[in-house]
Amino acid sequence: MARLLGLDDDYIMDQFGEKADTYARFSYYPECPRPELVFGLKPHSDGSVLTVLMVDDTIGGLQILRDGVWFDVPIVPHTLLINIGDQTEIMSNGIFKGPVHRVVTNAEKERLSLALFYSVDPEREIEPATQLVDEKRPALYRKVKVKDYIAGLYEHVSQGTMVIDTVKI
């Protein structure tokens, strides 16, 4: 990914720091008698650098927002889904986007997923890589401490707002 951005190969790895964090979230979505009224997981982008997602291979539900339209993410058995998170969006100055996604519920079937979130050391600050900022493309995000960014995540998801918007310039 760093190479695609024209950065040193180790640029993103170096940002993680000595105390990079990994969180695992197991999600269980029970059958829901009124799927049209209840989300399994509200629309959000991940606050991570990257997320590795193992989704249930018997039942869909994950959807991704593109140009204002929600698309079903196809189930591909025995694969891991890699999602870009907001920390990469910030460091890449918006060249990589953390896609907005959600999980819809299902009336007949329960669903399981496991997400592993890889994050920069929470005590470190992140900002757009200086090599990706110039007059033509000014910094689109301000510098932010990772711990502060992550602290805002749940509140924003529950309010239906996007935490990434709070660091946009």
Ligand X SMILES: O=C(O)CCC(=O)C(=O)O
Toward ligand X, which CB reaches closer, 23 or 130?
23
Closest CB 48 distance from ligand X, rounded Å: 9
Identity of the residue, 43 or 94, whose beta carbon is nearer to ligand X in the bound complex: 43
- Residue among 123, 122, 48, 52 at smallest CA distance from 91: 48
User: Based on C-alpha coordinates, what's the Rg of the chain?
Assistant: 17
- Pick from 27, 95, 116, 147: which binds ligand X (CB under 6 A)? 27
Q: Where are the strands (E) in 3-146, listed by range?
A: 21-29, 39-44, 50-55, 62-66, 69-72, 81-84, 101-104, 111-119, 125-126, 144-145
Least separation in angstroms between residue 129's CB and Fe ion is 24
55 binds, among ligand X, Fe ion, none (CB under 5 to 8 A by kind): ligand X
Choice from 7, 32, 41, 126 touching ligand X (CB under 6 A): 41
Q: Does 115 bind ligand X (CB under 6 A)?
A: yes
Of 79, 21, 70, the closest CA to residue 42 belongs to 70
Q: Residue 96: which of 69, 132, 72, 135 has the closest Cα?
A: 132
Q: Does 48 bind ligand X (CB under 6 A)?
A: no
> Shortest gap between Cβ of 117 and ligand X (angstroms)?
7
Cβ(99)–Cβ(83) under 8 Å?
yes
Footprint of ligand X on this chain (CB under 6 A)? 25, 27, 41, 46, 53, 55, 62, 101, 103, 113, 115
